[in-house]
Chain A
Amino acid sequence: SQTIHQWPATLVQPVGSPLSLECTVEGTSNPNLYWYRQAAGRGLQLLFYSVGIGQISSEVPQNLSASRPQDRQFILSSKKLLLSDSGFYLCAWSVRGSGADTQYFGPGTRLTVL
């Protein structure tokens, strides 16, 4: 069966510090991968998606970047965090090529920027 992991689970970082959040998927190959941010009272916002290694699409301009160095690894990064980067970050995967199949979500990372 497929599983998705995210770490760390929680993170408290000062403004201006770098960020690296990691997401890995097990039990499937060639998945579509997604990063979402959930800010308080603002629902889920799609940040990035990837359909393959090294292929990243950004949905919104922001202070963050994403990379996919391996097929089942998706990394969210920032060089300098802002207060507005605080939130709950969710990684998700879906079957590639299906067009509109289910997205399966990881447990999330709670980021607090102080």
Chain B
Amino acid sequence: AQSVTQLGSHVSVSEGALVLLRCNYSSSVPPYLFWYVQYPNQGLQLLLKYTSAATLVKGINGFEAEFKKSETSFHLTKPSAHMSDAAEYFCAVTRPGGTSYGKLTFGQGTILTVHP
């Protein structure tokens, strides 16, 4: 079974400050990991994904995440927050292989607030 824990349901930063959203996973096999962003009343948009290639993954809008197997973590970062980054962010895990049918297990989400 797989699970995802996002530490901090709410994170608040100032515009221009570092964004750090934490995600820890549990998986019995090497996982694939994803970060999605959701703006109010919209669907989820993929930010980036880790699929066992480079451990540092770069995504859209200046975000990146690093897969750390020893820490079972996949934290999302952005060097300088922008007002438009305010949204809810979800970390998700899946098990590679056809029998998983691509099913994702999501964390509870982290709401990012950006102050001027």
Which residues of A line the B interface, CB within 8 A?
32, 34, 41-44, 46, 49, 51, 57, 59, 88, 90, 92, 94-95, 97-108, 110
Query: Contact at A100–B44, with CB atoms within 8 Å?
Result: no
B116 part of interface (Cβ distance < 8 Å)? no
How many residues of B sit at the interface, in one of the four size bands?
20 to 34
A97 CA / B100 CA spacing, docked (Å): 10
Tell whether, in the assembled complex, residue A44 and residue B106 are in contact, meaning their CB atoms are under 8 Å apart: yes
Question: Given contacts A98-B102, A100-B32, is CB(A107)–CB(B42) below 8 Å?
Answer: yes
| Given contact pairs A90-B44, A105-B43, A110-B41, A99 touches B107 in the complex (Cβ within 8 A) | no
Query: Knowing that A99-B98, A99-B100, A105-B36 are A-B contacts, what are 20 other residue pairs whose CB atoms are under 8 Å apart, sorted by A's residue number?
Result: A34-B103, A43-B90, A43-B106, A43-B108, A43-B109, A46-B103, A46-B104, A46-B105, A59-B103, A90-B44, A92-B44, A98-B102, A99-B96, A99-B102, A100-B32, A100-B51, A100-B102, A106-B43, A107-B42, A110-B41
In the bound complex, residues from chain B placing their C-beta under 8 Å from that of A94 are 102
| Residue in A41, A49, A105 whose CB lies within 8 Å of B101 | A49
A92 to B103, CA, bound (A): 10
| Chain A contacts for B109, CB-based, 8 A | 43-44
B95 to chain A, nearest CB (A): 7
Chain B neighbourhood of A97, CB < 8 A: 98
Contact A99 B97 (CB under 8 A): yes
Query: Quick one: CB contact mask for B30-52 with A, threshold 8 Å, 1 for yes?
Result: 00101010000111111001010
Query: Are A100 and B90 within 8 A (Cβ)?
Result: no
